[in-house]
Structure 1
Amino acid sequence: MSTTGRSPAETPAASDVAVRLRAAEFVRLVAAATGDGVAAATLLTSALDGETPYQLSVTPLPETAARDTEADCTLAVGRPVDGADITLGTETHPASLTAHEVGVELGSGDPIAAIAGALAAGADRDEAVLGLAEDVDLTRRPGIASPTADPVDGLAHSTFLHAPFSGSTDDAADALTGLDLPDELSEDDHRRVASLAALAVTGTDASERATVSVERFLRPLVGGPCETVDGYADVLDATARDAPGQAVALALGHADPESAFDTWRTHATEAHSALSTATTGRYDGLFAVKCDGTVPVGTVARLAADFRSPEPVVLALGEGCAEARRLPESTVHVGQIVEQASADVGGTGRGTSLRGRARFETDPAEFLLAFREKL
């Protein structure tokens, strides 16, 4: 899915945001617990650092992010926030790209962080992303989008694909056995690993969309704080969802990469396992993924949308929580549907037109029924 198309109605001009920030005496930033939200927020704080006091919080949906401090400018970054003066990245244009543009206006900016945030948001490597890559001499190479040099690690733990070996280092290693790879991979070796990954997603459970979605995992941009910028985006999104403080430190260059990789591996393993063992249901316009226990429903919903769903709306359900996403061909406002369905079962829900998240105390089947009725 391409998410870099700018709509003037939904994305404020970077110059206007910069003017507002220059005039502010205190800035409050509320970021979504996503890779894009964290990357964008840290780009903005870097631009403000030393000039304007600020407060940054990473607040996952459906929390309301109610104002808890006085600020003359509140920025909602990657999520809606009641009373926000400026909102970035709640629809199709990644917050990170706008945040980088704002940073440039203020004498800052970081193309690698902007690219990673945009890729975490699902952006294609289009003209906007590749233009930023050229600015810092990043190049693409054959292979897979892994944050580490180990192809087993990348195949097993990436959340940029869902294949039979996903979530299992043993299965990933078995899949690579026939390639007889050397310790140091050549371009041809990288190409063979990529071909294996591309073929692996076309199994019996794969959707038609899977063959397009897997392209995000192939021919990555090399460089940045990890083996590839695309792999960095994957780690940033996983840590933002599971350990926001670690994600902020990673984006600012203060975190131990190995610790962040461990968070990424755990998050990916849980998400892939949940999707592989989930009970699925297909309804008119909806693909429901019912998982046991507490699972990373946001990543499960994204993986299901990209690789499994035959319907334009996906709902991933776990114990006490759910996340919905819509594919580009759908025009429904997912966030509104989640909010209405949550209210019907006594829970809370919030989101954008693209995704929504709910918390509830009822049985997930009740929330599914309420969601179907509103859809």
Structure 2
Amino acid sequence: MTETASADAAPDALAGVLRDAPFVRLVARDDGDSLAAAALLARALRARSTPFQARVAADPDPTPSEEDVSVTVGADAGPHAVAGEGRPASTTAFAVARELGADPDPVLALAGVVAAGSVPGTDGSGDALAAAERTGRVERRPGVAVPTADLADGLSASTLLRLPYSGEPESARAALAELSLPSDLDADAHRRLASLVAVDAATAPDASRRAATAVERALRPYATDGDDAPFATVGGYADVLDALSRAAPGTGIALALADEPSDGLRTAALDAWRTHGLAAHRALAGATTGRYDGATVVRTDASAATLPTVARLARDYLSPEPIALALSAEAGALAAAATEPVGLGEALRTVAADFGGTGWGTPTRGAARFDGDATEVAAAVRGAL
């Protein structure tokens, strides 16, 4: 893999390369921010009638060619990259698209920002937020960021949250019934809903101190407006993109590329999001957890595609330590998430190689497949960090 300087600081430089490209290959890391960023670039290329190919990979590794241009998104690799380190990749892609003369979708860009763990209007996303507000595409309101009109469905499957009823739609429905919310939520109803979610996230029996802060990411959402808005809130859109990037990347690319997603595409996206979110929450609820110096290890039978979400949820809502490892002996896989950059991706790459596998990731998150004893692998990862 060839390391190169990220294009994040100079969108005009990448735009100059793409402007005259005969064909562009976009490869995005498997997260919602990278997926949104790749789609913003792809839409700009489509507007210029530039042929392109877009795909998602856990460990983006482009194959440079003299005949076309390859761009990695979410990884600082290859001759042209939108690394997404320091600020969301979507903010850079939004700027590149503008440099190419396109009118990029600010709602898609903001969804990428939220998927990256940032807040609309910060980390370079001010232009996207201003564009969305100026055109009436978004408006901040009280409440909770979910992608569905069915609140019980949204709360139980959302991976922005971890609540006592996460993974259990009927339990979520019972909790909501106690609020006696009107069918058409007004501002007061949205506030009561947000209060319930905030309290339940922070006071869950196994909640860490970080949970009270983590839940704020899903509160006071930016509601979307317009027939072309795929989901009711920017945060809900972000949650769907993040789930699809790992659970159904083909559907994720189709959704992010669509100017006006069809009802069938929205349904397919929500089905994949719901399945992924419920599986992640149920895996975490049934996991065996161990606390070590600097890391919490969650042992579960989750699939390899679900483990990164399990690790992130454990880091944000469960772990008293700054690093969470989600480990599945059945899948021969693990994922990790950290609160601060600690070189997770490189550590997992090294450890996995020692166990006959492969590892990848960023300074704050990563995953690995391995061939060996799961307990030994987990110990080796803790030692490497």
Q: What TM-score do the two structures reach when normalised by structure 1?
A: 0.91
Shift of 1:157: 1.1
Aligned pairs (5 A) from 1:270-309: 270-294=279-303, 296-309=306-319
State the alpha-carbon separation in 2 of the partners of residues 276 and 51 from structure 1.
Answer: 48
Q: Distance in 1 between matches of 2:131 and 2:309?
A: 26
Whole-angstrom CA distance in 2 between matches of 1:100 and 1:9: 15
Counterparts of 1:170-209 in structure 2, within 5 Å, are 170-202=170-202, 203-209=204-210
**Structure 2 matches for 1:83-122, cutoff 5 A?**
84-108=78-102, 109-122=104-117
Query: What is the distance in 1 between the residues matched to 2:147 and 2:242?
Result: 12
How far 1:43 moved relative to its partner? 0.7
Give the CA deviation at 1:152. Answer: 1.0
CA separation in 2, counterparts of 1:71 and 1:263? 36
Identity of aligned residues (%): 46
In structure 1, the residue matched to 2:219 is 218
User: 1:348 corresponds to which residue?
Assistant: 358
Structure 2: gaps spanning 5 or more residues: none
Query: Counterparts of 1:126 and 1:312 in 2: how far apart (Å)?
Result: 26
Which of 69, 72, 75 is 1:76 aligned to?
72
In the aligned structure 2, how far is the partner of 1:341 from the partner of 1:10? 29
Q: State whether structure 2 residue 52 is matched by structure 1 residue 54.
A: yes
Query: Retained in 2: the 8 A contact 1:166–1:172?
Result: yes
Answer whether contact 2:352 2:370 (CA < 8 A) is retained. Answer: yes
8 Å contact from structure 2 (residues 348, 359) kept in 1 = yes
- SS of 2:368's equivalent in the other structure is strand
The residue identity in structure 2 corresponding to 1:351 is G
- Per-residue deviation at 1:125? 3.1
Which string of whole-angstrom CA distances, capped at 9 and with x for unpartnered residues, describes residues 255-289 of structure 1?
A: 52112111111000000011111111111111111
1:124 to 119, 122, 137: 119
1:10–1:91: 8 Å Cα contact kept in structure 2?
no
Query: Once the two structures are superposed, what CA deviation does each residue of 1:121-158 show, in whole Å capped at 9, x if it has no partner?
Result: 11123443543542432111111101112211221111
CA contact (8 A) 2:32 2:245 kept: yes
Deviation of the 1:196 alpha carbon: 0.5
1:325 corresponds, among 313, 323, 337, to: 337
| Cross-structure match for 2:16 | 19
**Deviations 1:343-373 (CA, angstroms, capped at 9, x unpaired):** 1211111122121111113232121011022
Residue range with higher mean Cα deviation, 358-367 or 36-45 = 358-367
Contact 1:28 1:71 in 2 (8 A): no
Q: CA deviation at 1:308?
A: 1.1
Instruction: Tell me the equivalent position of 1:231.
Output: 236
Structure with more contact order per residue of length (Cα contacts < 8 Å, sep ≥ 6): 1
Matched, 1:164 2:164: yes
Write the distance in 2 (CA, Å) between the matches of 1:348 and 1:279: 25
Does the aligned pair in 2 maintain the 1:166–1:272 contact within 8 Å? yes
> What is the rounded CA distance, in whole Å, between the counterparts of 1:71 and 1:167 in structure 2?
48
- Distance, in Å, in 1 between the alignment partners of 2:112 and 2:85 is 14
1:152 equivalent in alignment to 2:152: yes
1:165 partner amino acid: Y
> For residues 209 and 101 of structure 1, do their structure 2 counterparts lie closer, same or farther at Cα, with a shift above 3 Å needed?
same
CA–CA distance in 1 between the matches of 2:271 and 2:6?
Answer: 40
Q: Once the two structures are superposed, what CA deviation does each residue of 1:51-104 show, in whole Å capped at 9, x if it has no partner?
A: 32222221123xx635286644221101344xx112213423111111011111
Larger displacement relative to structure 2 (315-324 or 49-58): 49-58
2:108 and 2:171 map into 1 onto residues whose CA distance is 32
Q: Which runs of 4+ in 1 moved over 6 A?
A: none
* Residue 51 to residue 300, structure 1, CA distance change in 2 (3 Å): same
For residues 70 and 135 of structure 1, the distance between their equivalents in structure 2, rounded to whole angstroms, comes to: 42
The letter of the residue matching 1:317 is: L
**SS at structure 1 position matched to 2:55:** strand
CA distance in 2, matches of 1:52, 1:226: 29
Contact 1:12 1:88 in 2 (8 A): no
Matched with 2:255 is 250
Cα separation, 1, equivalents of 2:62 and 2:82? 17
Q: SS of the counterpart of 1:201? A: helix
Structure 1 residue 114: Cα displacement: 0.4
What is residue 3 of structure 1 aligned with on the other side?
none
CA distance in 2, matches of 1:48, 1:66: 18
Q: Which runs of 5+ in 1 are unaligned?
A: 1-7
Total equivalences in the alignment = 362
